[in-house]
Amino acid sequence: MSETVKLYKSNQPLLMQGNEACGWGALAAGCRFFAGYPITPSTEIAELLARNLPRVGGYFIQMEDEIASIAAIIGASVAGSKSMTATSGPGYSLMQENLGYAYMAEVPIVVVNVQRGGPSTGLPTKVSQADTMQAKWGTHGDYYPIVLAPSSVKECFDMTIKAFNMAEQYRVPVTVLTDEVLGHMREIVILPEPSAVKVLNRPRPVDPPEWYKHFEITPDYLSPMASFGEGYRFHLTGLTHDESGFPTAKPNEIKAKLDKLKLKITRHREQITEIRSDMMEDAHIMVFAYGSTARAARQAIRMARKKRFKVGMVQPYTIWPFPDDKIAPLLENVDTVVVPELNQGQIIGEIERLSRRHVKVVPLQRYDGELITPSQIVDVIKEEHA
Amino acid sequence: MTEKKQTFDRYEIRLSGSGGQGLVLGGVILAEALGVYEGKNVTQTQSYGPEARGGASRSDVVVSDGEIYYPKATELDLLLCLTQESCDQYYPSLKEGGLLVVDSDKVRQVPSPKAFSLPFIRIAREKVGTPVVANVVSISAVAGITGICSKDSILKAVLARAPRGTEEKNRLACELGYEMGAAAERGVHV
């Protein structure tokens, strides 16, 4: 990073909130534009960026609502600025229409959704993981989102950076899906110098402006991206379009566009997806957990191991695209998968799909506004072991 | 009070009371004292309602020398209560042998004879001149009772978070709280 401005105290222990870590991660990744509308439990992200974006020559705008917020960050990104917004369920719902526009127009943006209880205004100060499927299917049409799920304050920092890198690389909106517990939790973190952070930028056109096609179908399906105002002329629309960006009704061009949206993600699934597995070598039971629930699971498997239960844990850091290729082989060695989540059953469907009924899949669902406890998970493990 | 450094696998503290008593900030300061100034691993979480004041409020601090997996407190080693309601609600979560610390004016029905019952809010009002620092008095007393962190660390953490112009009041609140806690632990009545 070129700035001489000191963003945060690096290389020393700090007590930091998950939301603050998202904000610092965004700045370290090169975010220079934030538009948002405050909502519990995400507001600390906006507060931090309102204070610090001007220090690095960036812009912060509080918009009239979430619809305008996402519209503003799409515009800023098209003009060449790395852009982000942060919200919670009610705001994420309002953003869905323009999120669809960003998928279609292939605009790199980052949205942080700090989940709270729903539906509707639900539980402003209580934790939930009930937007898991919304993050995949929230807007209409076929599209392939990237959604990351951190489980610690440090991971909030790292994954916000990763979200920007992937948004830029794949020209796609990326959602960082955290929750009230993670967003408000404070932990001791040691952050790297901003200059030590790996930052990726969108591929830039090498062709002269007269040959430029904003949606060129390349062998890896990733198109270089010029910014508005640089002399490269292109058309942006939510209508299905050809490589130059103009609306098309030709079946071959329609199919090519939709294939591009799909293949630019699925062809890179291996690089995009990330999981962590713990104590799976000899495990008969797998606990599959993500986000703050993974914190309960990590303690639970240690408690269960003390009782000599052969249990391990798999945590997806990428929930969409679902890491099929990394999880399927691990399912072959277990008899049972326990899936704790803070909703009435969302990610469990993916495990059921992958297990093809060869593995027993056991739900543990809590949706009363409280975090699942390790002993709740241990109780299920005990029952399944018996 | 123990001077030697204690080591913990997992030590769980809950600060509870009503919204507006500054307990979330109290938890943050205590966590900072333990994590930044004593070099422990620490997580701080909170639970509160949508109201700015009133309603139940709690702040959990988990301390460990190792990695902390589950960030919330479930089996409490220490419970601080600044209202009767929070004492009634959370006392059952206190571990056997865990420490109960209550405000002696606010908690009149103390569920355990072994509780430390101390006048945090009154000391804040009468000796520092404002009830606003009752959170600092109480977390400093928690440090004094348990010896979980040094007086120096808690004072540094308090001053690092004190708004400009309030440093002296906060320093006094911290010292009064710490001494009160340490004396109570030695069995001296204050």
A49: burial class by Cβ within 10 Å (0-12, 13-18, 19+)?
buried
Flag if B69 and A295 touch (Cβ within 8 Å).
yes
Q: What is the pLDDT of residue B1?
A: 39
Q: What is the pLDDT of residue B53?
A: 67
Write out pLDDT tens, residues A302-345.
Answer: 999 999 999 999 999 999 999 999 999 999 999 999 999 999 99
Contact A358, A168 (CB under 8 A): no
Q: What is the pLDDT of residue B79?
A: 98
Determine the 3-state secondary structure of A55 from DSSP. helix
Flag if B43 and A185 touch (Cβ within 8 Å).
yes
| B159 lies in some domain | yes
A84: pLDDT confidence band, cut at 50, 70 and 90?
Answer: very high
Beta-sheet strands, E only, within chain B: 11-18, 41-48, 56-64, 76-81, 94-103, 116-118
Give the architecture-level CATH label for domain A276-385.
3-Layer(aba) Sandwich (3.40)
The shortest CB-CB distance from B36 to any of A14, A40, A124 is to: A14
pLDDT (mean) for A364-377: 97
Q: What is the pLDDT of residue B189?
A: 54
Give the number of domains in chain B.
1
Q: Residue B141 sits in which domain range?
A: 11-185
Q: What is the pLDDT of residue A232?
A: 96
- Is B38 in CB contact (< 8 Å) with chain A? no
**Chain A contact set for B42 (CB, 8 A):** 15, 186-188
pLDDT (mean) for A190-207: 95
Fold observed for domain A14-196: Rossmann fold (3.40.50)
User: In chain B, which among 40-79 make CB contacts under 8 A with chain A?
Assistant: 40-50, 68-72, 74
Is the pLDDT at B14 greater than 90, yes or no? yes
| B3 lies in some domain | no
Write out pLDDT tens, residues A203-248.
Answer: 999 989 999 999 999 999 999 999 999 999 999 999 999 999 999 9
Is the pLDDT at A2 greater than 50, yes or no? no
Q: Which of B45, B70, B90, B153 to mutate to test the interface with A (most CBs of A within 10 A)?
A: B70
Considering only CA atoms, which of B18, B21, B52 is closest in space to residue B132?
B21
Closest residue, chain B, to A41 (C-alpha): B50
pLDDT (mean) for B114-125: 96
Q: Which residue has the higher pLDDT, B54 or B109?
A: B109
The shortest CB-CB distance from B31 to any of A186, A295, A375 is to: A186
Q: What is the pLDDT of residue A4?
A: 58
Is the pLDDT at B2 greater than 70, yes or no? no
Count of A-B CB contacts under 8 Å: 63
- Dig out the tokens for B56 from the structure: 């139940």
Write out pLDDT tens, residues A131-144.
Answer: 999 999 999 999 99
Q: What would the DSSP string read from start to end of A198-266?
A: ----PPPP-S-GGG--TT---TTSPPP-PPTTSS------SS-B-TTS-B---HHHHHHHHHHHHHHHH
The average confidence (pLDDT) of chain B is 92
**Residue labelled with tokens 């917004």:** A85
Closest residue, chain A, to B62 (C-alpha): A187
Between vectors from CA B124 to CA B121 and to CA B128, what angle results, nearest 5°? 170
Determine the 3-state secondary structure of A113 from DSSP. strand
Q: What is the pLDDT of residue A1?
A: 44
- Is B93 in CB contact (< 8 Å) with chain A? no
pLDDT (mean) for B157-181: 97
| B5 lies in some domain | no
Q: What is the pLDDT of residue B47?
A: 85
Write out pLDDT tens, residues A287-307.
Answer: 999 999 999 999 999 999 999
Flag if B35 and A296 touch (Cβ within 8 Å).
no
Is the pLDDT at B60 greater than 60, yes or no? yes
B6: pLDDT confidence band, cut at 50, 70 and 90?
Answer: low
User: What share of chain B in percent tops pLDDT 90?
Assistant: 85
Is the pLDDT at B52 greater than 70, yes or no? no
Closest residue, chain A, to B60 (C-alpha): A185
Q: What does the domain layout of chain A look like in residue ranges?
A: 14-196, 276-385
| B27 lies in some domain | yes
CA distance A82 to A257: 24
- Is A190 in CB contact (< 8 Å) with chain B? no
Is the pLDDT at B5 greater than 80, yes or no? no
Is the pLDDT at B127 greater than 50, yes or no? yes
Domain containing residue B59: CATH number: 3.40.920.10
**Residue labelled with tokens 């993500």:** A290
Write out pLDDT tens, residues A30-63.
Answer: 999 999 999 999 999 999 999 999 999 999 999 9
**Chain B contact set for A124 (CB, 8 A):** 50
Is the pLDDT at B98 greater than 80, yes or no? yes
Write out pLDDT tens, residues A140-189.
Answer: 999 999 999 999 999 999 999 999 999 999 999 999 999 999 999 999 99
CA distance A100 to A109: 12
CA distance B176 to A364: 47
Flag if B45 and A181 touch (Cβ within 8 Å).
yes
| B190 lies in some domain | no
Q: What is the pLDDT of residue B48?
A: 76
Flag if B74 and A373 touch (Cβ within 8 Å).
yes
Closest residue, chain A, to B40 (C-alpha): A188
Is the pLDDT at A386 greater than 80, yes or no? no
